[in-house]
Amino acid sequence: MLGIVRQKMLGQSLLKIRPAISVLRSYSSAAKQMTVREALNSALDEEMSADPKVFLMGEEVGEYQGAYKISKGLLEKYGPERVLDTPITEAGFAGIGVGAAYYGLKPVVEFMTFNFSMQAIDHIINSAAKSNYMSAGQMSVPIVFRGPNGAAAGVGAQHSQCYASWYASCPGLKVLSPYSSEDARGLLKAAIRDPDPVVFLENELLYGESFPVSDEVLDSSFCLPVGKAKIERKGKDVTITAFSKMVGYALKAAEILEKEGIDAEVINLRSIRPLDRSTINASVRKTNRLITVEEGFPQHGVGAEICASVVEESFAYLDAPVERIAGADVPMPYAANLERMAVPQVEDIVRAAKRACYRAVPLAAAA
């Protein structure tokens, strides 16, 4: 099966990138630890238990218990009527999911990777996102499209793209992207309960990462608000925005910058659409500097939208040009050394923050 092949490829590739993943562990201490995989699994389990209208469908989600074991144990607990294995036909099962949502059910549609959602984008955009508006509010579409998004490791250009800016550009969709176990658990619950279609962008390399969780997060009633960012680290010298795996990189960069006298504020966006513009602008008005970080392509990216928002609303507060850190403007290379060069690294964030704080030679001067 395709999932087994991808698991083997990932296991081999992780050995090469283990040092990079270690930066994701920079998080506050707490008594209990939970992996992102466990957080997603528990959120699905609790929402399916609480609401019989919720069901899961996708490739290998049942008998194989998910290509990444997110749906482990759910088939046994809820049966094949609520955990449905589908053929390899994203357009087919995405369309079935939208139809079920029209009928009043709450499907959670898993894509083995969001790269494969390109086969289903007509249903996501035209069938799901636009129906509420075109029906004058008479028809809601409570559906979640979820799965790994962005670069993994050694899977080439066609399996490595970030679709955050693609889906976030479409009115009618909500787009969420978790970083920690708290994010994954709280945001997935919010997505399933939401009356509108939600695109839920996970990260393959974060599934096995452990994060501290409080008793509040473990409570079955826990849910995070859609459209609200989280300030992961307070600071006064420069604002760094990031989402998904890049939040961990931003936190690691902030630790390095602190040793050099730069106090960085790190914002975990959590929600790409709606975007928490008020939190971002409030931070920039305090720090007077902005660095955006994302894995996706630079042109028309999430960072570009954030920069535009800050220029429109907080231009007078800026003491330095805004900087965007993004993936290289090329299809993802397969070779490991080139792959590393194509996605943002911690040192890229550090250099950008130093430039913004006038601790390094600006790019224009260096050129």
- pLDDT tens string 8-62: 444 444 444 443 444 444 444 446 999 999 999 999 999 999 999 999 999 999 9
Whether residues 47 and 185 fall in one domain: yes
Q: Which of 195, 216, 237 is the last residue of a domain?
A: 216
**Within a domain: 26:** no
Per the structure block, which two tokens stand in for 262? 């730069």
**Within a domain: 212:** yes
190-218 average pLDDT score: 97
Q: What is the pTM of this model?
A: 0.89
- What's residue 361's pLDDT? 59
- What's residue 176's pLDDT? 98
Whether residues 120 and 244 fall in one domain: no
**Within a domain: 233:** yes
**Within a domain: 70:** yes
Question: What is the total count of domains within the chain?
Answer: 2
- What's residue 367's pLDDT? 53
pLDDT at residue 250 greater than cutoff 50: yes
Is residue 1 very low, low, confident or very high in pLDDT (cuts 50, 70, 90)? very low
Whether residues 245 and 348 fall in one domain: yes
**Within a domain: 364:** no
Whether residues 238 and 175 fall in one domain: no
Whether residues 159 and 276 fall in one domain: no
Q: Provide the 3-class DSSP secondary structure of residue 311.
A: helix
Pairing of strands 198-202, 144-148: parallel
Whether residues 135 and 258 fall in one domain: no
- What's residue 21's pLDDT? 41
Whether residues 244 and 203 fall in one domain: no
Which residue, 185, 164, 356, 146, is CA-closest to 275? 164
CATH number at residue 83: 3.40.50.970
Whether residues 101 and 204 fall in one domain: yes
**Within a domain: 363:** no
pLDDT at residue 365 greater than cutoff 60: no
240-265 average pLDDT score: 98
What average pLDDT is seen over the chain?
91
Which of the residues are catalytic?
90, 159
Contact (CB, 8 A) for 108 and 146? yes
What is d(CA 106, CA 102) in angstroms, rounded to the nearest whole number?
9
Whether residues 209 and 270 fall in one domain: no
Whether residues 141 and 167 fall in one domain: yes
pLDDT at residue 346 greater than cutoff 90: yes
Q: Which of 194, 216, 238 is the last residue of a domain?
A: 216
Q: What is the 3-state secondary structure (H, E, C) of 17-78?
A: HHHHHHHHHCCCCCCEEEEHHHHHHHHHHHHHHHCCCEEEEECCCCCCCCCCCCCCCHHHHH
**Within a domain: 147:** yes
Is residue 363 very low, low, confident or very high in pLDDT (cuts 50, 70, 90)? low
Neighbours of 18 (CB within 10 A): 9
Q: Which domain holds residue 147?
A: 31-216
- What's residue 156's pLDDT? 87
pLDDT tens readout for residues 112-138: 999 999 999 999 999 999 999 999 989
- What's residue 31's pLDDT? 62
Whether residues 212 and 287 fall in one domain: no
CATH number at residue 299: 3.40.50.920
**Within a domain: 2:** no
Whether residues 200 and 336 fall in one domain: no
Q: Which of 190, 216, 242 is the last residue of a domain?
A: 216
